[in-house]
């Protein structure tokens, strides 16, 4: 099923206008009324924007779950995101190989019943989306009962790279491909807070110890032994170092590197900033049970405030203007592809 096949109701053109670019940056909430919708459709690799007026999805437009105005507005936003992605890929990534390998799909989870492919971008709502996929797959009766470790380490969801090449390509061609992204520096600060400011033996040992060893002047024996207490400035030094003492990690890797949107034509590009509305819009499009909505709880370090742009600014006040610029440059392609504004006024 191609999500953009569902956008006949939109009046926006395929050209991304200035107004659409503004809408893309801050998607408004969608008012929900009834919880009834169903769908069934097929998908192809290339994009088009048509839907038969007699299709199940077309009839669901008037089912009352979204007002026609809300449906039209969000559909236009989502279609404009796809079009912008095509423009950026054509401009900056036109020379990349179009051959899709297992490596390119290693972050994609498969839900066969509802024909969904979800590319995991950590710190952009992936835990709750994986809970939702588990319910869709019949692995759990509700999202609230699924523990964090069950989500990430229980191996209840299939990965696309577990299939042979034919299975991979069949699903890429016929399933709805989904990605949710987040403001890049906010996501990076969220990852730092989660992995380095809270007890985490794995990250403190694997990343903390080499980071402290390389970037801290006169580190204590305790710090070198445990890897505890990595400062944000040290984390930034590590991130920007072309000779990092330890490799990258999916929690702060660029979203475009995790999900390869210039190679894989995503049908639905959602944003963390409007997570609830856009996720539930997608679930209704996919024909999910009417009572299933994306959970919104924060199960890791629940006493911590959710990372906001204000919190992000506070952390980046700990580093200089040059470091801020270089971190922005590191995530620059994510800013372009997913149409996020510059987070600080002094950036160029």
**The predicted structure's pLDDT at residue 25:** 52
What is the mean pLDDT of the segment spanning 262-273? 97
Tokens representing 302 are 């629940």
Whether residue 38 is predicted with pLDDT greater than 70 in this model: the reply is no
Measured distance CA(270)–CA(260) in Å, rounded: 15
Of 54-58, 154-158, 267-271, which one has max mean pLDDT? 267-271
Residues 6-34: what's their mean pLDDT? Answer: 44
Read off the pLDDT of residues 204-225 as tens digits, 9 standing for 90 and up: 999 999 999 999 999 999 999 9
Task: Provide mean pLDDT across the span 153-177.
Answer: 93
Using CA atoms, how far apart are residues 328 and 340, in angstroms rounded to an integer? 11
Tell me the domain boundaries of the chain: 3-99, 185-252+302-337
pLDDT, residue 114, reads: 96
**What band does 248 get if pLDDT is binned at 50, 70 and 90?**
very high
Residue-level pLDDT at 57: 34
Answer yes or no: is pLDDT of 334 > 80: yes
Confidence of residue 155 (pLDDT cuts 50, 70, 90): confident
Confidence category of residue 338, pLDDT binned at 50, 70, 90: very high
Region 82-86 average pLDDT:
98
Query: 72-81, 197-206, 279-288, 297-306 — which is least confidently predicted?
Result: 297-306
For residue 271, the SS3 value is strand
pLDDT for 35: 33
In this predicted structure, what is the pLDDT of residue 10? 36
End-to-end CA distance of the chain: 40
Q: Is the pLDDT of residue 140 over 50?
A: yes
pLDDT score at 18:
55
Q: Is residue 202 predicted with pLDDT exceeding 50?
A: yes
Answer yes or no: are the C-beta atoms of 49 and 4 closer than 8 Å: yes
What pLDDT was estimated at residue 200?
A: 95
**Contacts (Cβ under 8 Å, ≥6 apart) of 117:** 108, 109, 110, 111, 160, 171, 172, 175, 176, 177, 178
pLDDT tops 80 at residue 333 = yes
Mean pLDDT of the 153-171 span: 92
Report, as an integer, the average pLDDT of 267-285.
95
Question: Over pLDDT 70: what percentage of the chain?
Answer: 79
Q: Looking at 250-264, 284-298, 321-335, which range is the least confident one? A: 284-298
C-beta of residue 269 within 8 angstroms of C-beta of residue 81? yes
What value, to the nearest 5°, has the Cα angle with vertex 347 and ends 344 and 348?
A: 150
């Amino acid at each position: 099923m191609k999500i953009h096949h569902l956008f006949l109701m939109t009046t926006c053109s395929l050209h991304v206008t200035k107004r659409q670019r503004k809408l893309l940056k801050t998607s408004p909430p969608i008012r929900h009324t009834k919880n009834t919708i169903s769908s069934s459709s097929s998908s192809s690799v290339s994009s088009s924007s048509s839907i038969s007026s007699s299709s199940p999805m077309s009839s669901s437009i008037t089912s009352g779950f979204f007002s026609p105005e809300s449906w039209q507005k969000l559909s236009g936003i989502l279609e404009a995101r796809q079009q912008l992605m095509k423009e950026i890929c054509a401009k900056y990534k036109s020379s990349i190989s179009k051959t899709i390998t297992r490596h390119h799909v290693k972050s994609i989870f498969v839900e066969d019943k509802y024909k969904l492919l979800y590319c995991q971008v950590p710190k952009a709502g992936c835990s709750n989306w994986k809970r939702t996929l588990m319910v869709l797959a019949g692995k759990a009766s509700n999202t609230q009962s699924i523990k964090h470790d069950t989500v990430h380490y229980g191996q209840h969801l299939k990965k696309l790279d577990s299939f042979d090449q034919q299975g991979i390509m069949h699903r890429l061609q016929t399933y709805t491909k989904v990605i949710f992204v987040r403001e890049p520096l906010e996501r990076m600060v969220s990852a730092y807070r989660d992995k380095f400011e809270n007890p985490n033996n794995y990250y403190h040992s694997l990343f903390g110890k080499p980071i402290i060893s390389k970037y801290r002047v006169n580190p204590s024996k305790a710090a070198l032994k445990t890897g505890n207490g990595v400062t944000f400035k040290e984390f930034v030094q590590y991130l920007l170092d072309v000779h990092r003492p330890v490799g990258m990690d999916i929690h702060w890797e660029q979203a475009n590197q995790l999900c390869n949107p210039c190679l894989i034509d995503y049908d639905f590009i959602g944003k963390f900033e409007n997570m609830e509305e856009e996720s539930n819009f997608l679930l209704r499009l996919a024909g999910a049970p009417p009572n299933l909505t994306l959970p919104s709880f924060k199960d890791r370090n629940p006493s911590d405030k959710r990372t906001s742009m204000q919190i992000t600014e506070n952390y980046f006040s700990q580093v200089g203007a040059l470091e801020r610029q270089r971190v922005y440059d590191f995530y620059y392609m994510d800013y372009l592809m997913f149409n996020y504004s510059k987070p600080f006024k002094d950036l160029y």
